[in-house]
């Protein structure tokens, strides 16, 4: 570094303060977690008809 590029302690401290002097905005725990279903729900899974039950188990 040349003498014109050297930073004095005051300018170095001001540069550090400008870069690191403020904490980042707080993130709530709800914003850190994303919930999504593991599989897509099957609409035909819970369909019940009495006729199908009768044919499947009684005949």
Q: Model-level pTM?
A: 0.31
- What pLDDT, in 10s, does the model give residues 8-46? 778 889 999 999 998 889 999 888 888 888 888 777 777
Angstrom distance (rounded) from CA 40 to CA 46: 14
Q: Rg for the chain (alpha carbons), in Å?
A: 33
The upper half-sphere exposure of residue 33, i.e. CA atoms within 13 Å in the direction of its Cβ, equals 4
Pick the residue with more confidence: 11 or 52? 11
Residue pair 13/21 in contact by the 8 Å Cβ criterion: no
pLDDT value, residue 7: 65
């Amino acid at each position: 570094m040349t003498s014109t590029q050297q930073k004095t302690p005051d300018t170095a401290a001001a540069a550090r303060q400008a870069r690191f002097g403020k904490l980042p905005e707080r993130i709530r725990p709800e914003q850190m977690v994303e919930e999504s279903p593991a599989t897509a729900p099957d609409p035909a899974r819970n369909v019940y008809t009495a006729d199908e039950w009768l044919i499947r188990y009684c005949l």
